[in-house]
């Protein structure tokens, strides 16, 4: 039963990442793409790591997975914010497309 739950979480993570990649191709400007890529990495990675932790059980490997997850959950929003802020401060603007 636990394996089924972990596999379901992995499928949810993969579906979220697949829909996020479709969103990357759908949006045309930089700021929308960086938002989507941040969401893909944060939520998809978190769901996949929870599934891996459940599959590994209570062990030293699970502790390593949780520490890596914590590190990524702290650094990903910070790095995304730094990239978006530097683009904004350098004057990068959203170009409006006129055609399809």
pLDDT in tens, 65-90: 999 999 999 999 899 999 999 999 99
When pLDDT is averaged across residues 15-39 and rounded to a whole number, the result is 89
What is the domain range of residue 51?
2-89
Q: Is 39 within the bounds of a domain? A: yes
- The neighbour count for residue 51, using CB atoms within 10 Å, is 21
Q: Is 6 within the bounds of a domain? A: yes
Q: Is 26 within the bounds of a domain? A: yes
pLDDT digits (tens, 9 = 90+) for 41-70: 889 999 999 999 999 888 999 999 999 999
What does the pLDDT read at residue 91? 86
Q: Is 95 within the bounds of a domain? A: no
What does the pLDDT read at residue 58? 87
Task: Report the domain count for the chain.
Answer: 1
Q: Is 98 within the bounds of a domain? A: no
**Encoding tokens for residue 77?**
């929003």
Q: Is 15 within the bounds of a domain? A: yes
Return phi, psi of residue 12, to 5°: -60, -40
Q: Is 54 within the bounds of a domain? A: yes
pLDDT confidence band for 9 (50 / 70 / 90): very high
Distance between CA atoms of 27 and 94, rounded to whole angstroms? 12
Average pLDDT value over all residues in the chain:
88
């Amino acid at each position: 039963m636990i394996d089924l739950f972990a596999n379901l979480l992995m499928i949810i993570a993969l579906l979220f990442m697949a829909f996020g990649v479709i969103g990357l191709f759908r949006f045309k400007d930089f700021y929308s793409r960086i938002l989507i890529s941040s969401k893909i990495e944060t939520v998809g990675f978190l769901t996949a790591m929870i599934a891996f932790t459940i599959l590994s059980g209570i062990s030293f490997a699970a502790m390593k997975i949780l520490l890596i997850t914590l590190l990524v959950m702290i650094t990903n929003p910070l790095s995304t914010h730094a990239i978006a802020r530097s683009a904004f401060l350098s004057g990068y603007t959203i170009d409006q497309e006129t055609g399809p």
